Amino acid sequence: MTPNNHTQIAREAFRKLATRKLPPTPANYQMCYNEIIGHPNVAGFPEANLRAISRALSARNPEQKKWLDQLDASIGKHSWQGIEEALSEFTRAMTEPTTMVAADGAIQTQDRADSDHTELRMKIASMIECGLPALGSADELFSRKSEDLLRILRDPESTVYDVHTELGDFSHRLSFIAEEQAEIKIVLLDLLHLILENVSALSLDDSWLKGQVDGLLAAVEPPLDLRRLDDVKQRVREVMARQSVAKARTLEAQEEMRRMLSDFIGRLSSMSESSFTFQHKIEESARRMEGIKTFEDLSPLLQDIIATARDMAKQTSQEHDQLESLKNKASATEEEITKLQQELLRASDSARHDPLTSALNRKGLEEALIREIAIMRRKETPLSVAFLDIDNFKKLNDRLGHESGDAALIHLVNIVRLSLRPADTLARYGGEEFVILMPDSALGDAIKAMQRCQRDLTKRFFLSGNEKVLITFSAGVAQFSREESGADAIRRADQAMYLAKRTGKNRVLGG
């Protein structure tokens, strides 16, 4: 075919495309071209698609591998017959060893199932044994059910039906025991609350007990937490040790006051007897004076009167000095008793403070919230709360150690206290989280106060050994609405703090 013929055929093919209003795609052009020259319009060989199918197939034995290689070779030759034969034989090679493989697989599956079943039963038995001490042994029927179930679980000859039956009986009885134990715990907690409240109500003069009672009441609030109980137990022990010393010295001082009062009464009685004796001698001297006729008889009487007066003056002076000394001792003892009472109150207050940082703890914060919210509503003044969290505190702990972490918390509290007003309240909320109550502060003022704390922290580096460490915190601030609870306002401030963390840390956001 000459070039001119090719050109004419191409022009004719484009005219057919235009006449039939077909898009000028390669496939449409090929169709028109073949139609003009009289060739059948056969699509091209889909080698890429067949190669993809071949790659997706995987050989599980040498026979299948041989036919996959045959398939690749047939695709390369564009041989549909070879492709059909290779796929047919590959499929046959997949089905021939099915029976043997299935049998082996069934055996292996059964072995794994038996092993898993045994392991599961041992784990269930171990779990039940761990939980039994918490349920007590008062219920004999439950104890027998527990023993029967453990025996069945550990018996390799027991069937699934046996385990299922015993487990059902055990679970049924367990529901009663668990419910009874929960009720017992609630009743015990109620009883403990009653006893503590009664102790607090009866100890009218022992206000130093209030901190311990409040701490215990807070500790036994459900849900119970062993770590919280242990922390309160340790702090109460420390408070009791301090109070024991102060209380013993207070009792000694009170006994000393009683002895001094007894001495004082004795001195007064002695002075009264001396006065009566002096009066009796004066009266006797007056009677003698009436019978005196001469001056010589008067002289001895005057000497007796003068001696009596001197004795009286001397004794009065001694009694005065002793009473003055007694008075001074009483004043000193009274002052010591006052100091000891203050020490008892301080020891009681320590139950409301965090032992590490001396900031208020959660119990102290609750009391402060009640007080400040009441003032806010009564005076209709603003009240704001800030929730702050130290940035990257875990990394600081991991790198420098927990002792440096504790020192960093103390450093932050000291700096923040210097930046706050005396009326503001700082409390440790937990870990590296703190809450600050700011009375008479609207939202904008409270945010500025927190930003001021951040600036002060950047000016005063924390020293860990010889290393200077910059401590920063992220904070959220919320202003109380009139009827809002403390928990709700703190929650809003906490959410704002998390937003500050996510947007770069070392910043303060309002909530």
Instruction: Please count the other Cβ atoms lying within 10 Å of the Cβ belonging to residue 250.
Output: 19
The conformation of residue 461, written as its DSSP 8-state character, comes to P
State yes or no: pLDDT of 102 exceeds 60. no
Nearest to 252, CA basis, from 328, 330, 343, 337: 337
Cα distances (angstroms) measured from residue 83 to each of 43, 53, 66, 68: 17, 11, 13, 10
Percentage of residues in the chain having pLDDT higher than 90: 20
**For 23-72, what is each residue's pLDDT tens digit?**
777 777 778 888 888 776 655 667 777 777 777 777 778 888 888 888 88
Amino acid at 57: L
d(CA 264, CA 267): 5
d(CA 419, CA 454): 9
Nearest to 485, CA basis, from 373, 401, 409: 373
Query: Tell me, what's the pLDDT at 265?
Result: 61
Q: What is the separation of C-alpha 462 from the centre of its chain, rounded to a whole number of angstroms? A: 25
State yes or no: pLDDT of 104 exceeds 60. no
State yes or no: pLDDT of 138 exceeds 80. no
Average pLDDT over residues 109-133: 71
400 by Cβ neighbours in 10 Å (0-12 / 13-18 / 19+) ranks as middle
Q: Which of 172-186, 434-448, 461-475 has the lowest mean pLDDT?
A: 172-186
Cα distances (angstroms) measured from residue 433 to each of 321, 413, 430: 62, 11, 5
**For 275-306, what is each residue's pLDDT tens digit?**
666 667 677 766 666 666 665 666 676 677 67
Contact 151, 121 (CB under 8 A): no
Q: Which residues of 499-509 are buried (b: 16+ CB within 10 A; e: fewer)?
A: ebbeeeebbbb
226 by Cβ neighbours in 10 Å (0-12 / 13-18 / 19+) ranks as exposed
- Where is pLDDT greater, at 422 or 279? 422
Contact 224, 311 (CB under 8 A): no
HEC secondary structure over 406-459: HHHHHHHHHHHHHHCCCCCEEEEEECCEEEEEEECCCHHHHHHHHHHHHHHHHH
Across 291-390, where does the E strand assignment appear? 383-390
* H or E element, residue 464: strand 462-464
Strands of 425-430's sheet in order across: 425-430, 433-439, 383-390, 473-479, 508-510
Cα distances (angstroms) measured from residue 79 to each of 41, 45, 46, 63, 97: 19, 10, 11, 21, 29
> For the residues of 98-141, what is the DSSP string, one character each?
HHHHHHHHHHHHHHHHHHHHHHHHHHHHHHHHHHHHHH-S--HH
d(CA 186, CA 194): 12
Helix, strand, coil percentages (3-state) for the chain, rounded to 5, are 75, 10, 20
Query: Tell me, what's the pLDDT at 101?
Result: 45
Length of the chain: 511
Instruction: Give the 3-state secondary structure of residue 263.
Output: helix
Query: Tell me, what's the pLDDT at 468?
Result: 87
Contact 50, 75 (CB under 8 A): yes
**For 170-207, what is each residue's pLDDT tens digit?**
777 777 777 776 666 666 666 666 666 655 555 544 55
**For 340-378, what is each residue's pLDDT tens digit?**
666 666 655 556 778 888 888 888 899 899 989 999 999
